[in-house]
Amino acid sequence: MLLASATECIGDVLVRACREFWPNRECLFQDAHEHVTHPLSDSWVWTVGVARNEFSIYRDEAAAASWEAKGAVKSNANMMIHFIIGDPLLDDPRVAEVAVIFDKWTPEIRRLLRDLKTSLVSTPSQAPTAEAA
Amino acid sequence: MRALIDATAVRIALEKTGQDLLLRLWSKDADQMLRKVAGGLKQFVHEYRRRFKETPDILALIDENTPKARAFFHFDTLMASCEMKIMVWRLLMGGEIRSVDFRYRADKRSSLRVHLLSADWQKETYESTEALDFRVLRHVGLAGEPQQGRLQGYYAF
């Protein structure tokens, strides 16, 4: 679980981090409540999509197809990352929790999480610096 | 159908994105400034459409993604040149900053050059020598390892 500034476009930061996590791949965005996937070249992703509170990013078309056909299996582990952005906290509405869901810990995933922590506190807005339990 | 960009639309955009302090600061010049800003935004939309064959719906962004609209309707963006507004919109639409060349000397001609990779993998370059354009750099975020960070995104304060 990470913390982020609730007034910022958190989804934008998350999608950019995934794109760096899978460089040179045609990542796909999927809203948690929709079946359709969108390539990151679709401007819908950067206006409407990143404003959604729960979504997945697939490494590429093959990863999305594998998840669609087989669900979570060993062969597609960590090829999809799911995000849930919480509502602003009751005790501090400037802050929101961000859940990052993946299959297994790897050095790459640790790097992604470090990258996200940097990104979420480095937007120019006044952002928190703490990590939730 | 897209909404008309005029002084009234800009006033509403500033209010909805929490930038209405500008209206107070502009005071009796507010109407004139709103018309000026609307003119700059219309020029931006026209030029963006000419280059990329798509129309940026800046007013729809207010409801679709208020944080991003707050960044776009920030004073620094509104006062930037058409070229830098396009750069900002490309960043908001998923563009990545690949490099920035910024040469500044007090009271001398300075320059800013930003190289982007757009969300559809196109290399783009944006240049300016106008001092007001340099302020857009304040809105860029940072990612990655501290020693090898990446500039990314465009955010409000």
| CB atoms closer than 10 angstroms to residue A72 | 11
Looking at residues A109-115, what average pLDDT do you find? 92
**Average of per-residue pLDDT values in chain B:** 94
Tell if the CB–CB gap between A123 and B155 is shorter than 8 Å: yes
Question: Which of left, alpha, beta for A132 (phi over 0: left; psi -120 to 50: alpha)?
Answer: beta
DSSP, collapsed to helix, strand or coil, labels residue A83 as strand
Work out the average pLDDT over B42-66.
96
Q: Is the pTM of this model over 0.80?
A: yes
Which residue out of A2, A5, A8 would a mutagenesis test of the B interface target, given it has the greatest number of B Cβ atoms within 10 Å?
A8
Question: Is the CB of A48 less than 8 angstroms away from the CB of B65?
Answer: yes
Distances (CA, A) of B43 to B48, B59, B70, B78, B88: 8, 15, 20, 12, 15
Residue B134 backbone class (left: φ over 0; alpha: ψ -120 to 50; beta: rest): alpha
Rounded to an integer, the average pLDDT of A112-125 is 81
Q: What is the pLDDT of residues B105-140, one digit of tens each?
A: 998 899 999 999 999 999 999 999 999 999 999 999
For B69-88, what is the mean pLDDT?
97
- Any B CB within 8 A of A96 CB: no
A115 in contact with B, Cβ within 8 Å: yes
Per residue in A18-41, pLDDT (tens digit) is 999 999 889 999 999 999 999 999
Question: CB of A110 within 8 Å of any CB in chain B?
Answer: no
Q: Under an 8 A CB cutoff, do B140 and A124 touch?
A: yes
pLDDT in tens, B14-29: 999 998 899 999 999 9
pLDDT of res. B148: 79
Q: Using only C-alpha atoms, what is the Rg of chain A?
A: 14
Using DSSP's 3-state secondary structure scheme, residue B29 falls into helix
Both tokens of residue B24?
């107070």
- When pLDDT is averaged across residues A65-86 and rounded to a whole number, the result is 95
Q: Write the DSSP symbol of residue B28.
A: G
Q: Please report which confidence band the pLDDT of residue B102 belongs to, taking 50, 70 and 90 as the band edges.
A: very high
Instruction: List, in sequence order, the alpha helices (H) in chain B.
Output: 7-16, 21-26, 30-52, 60-64, 66-72, 75-78, 82-92, 131-134
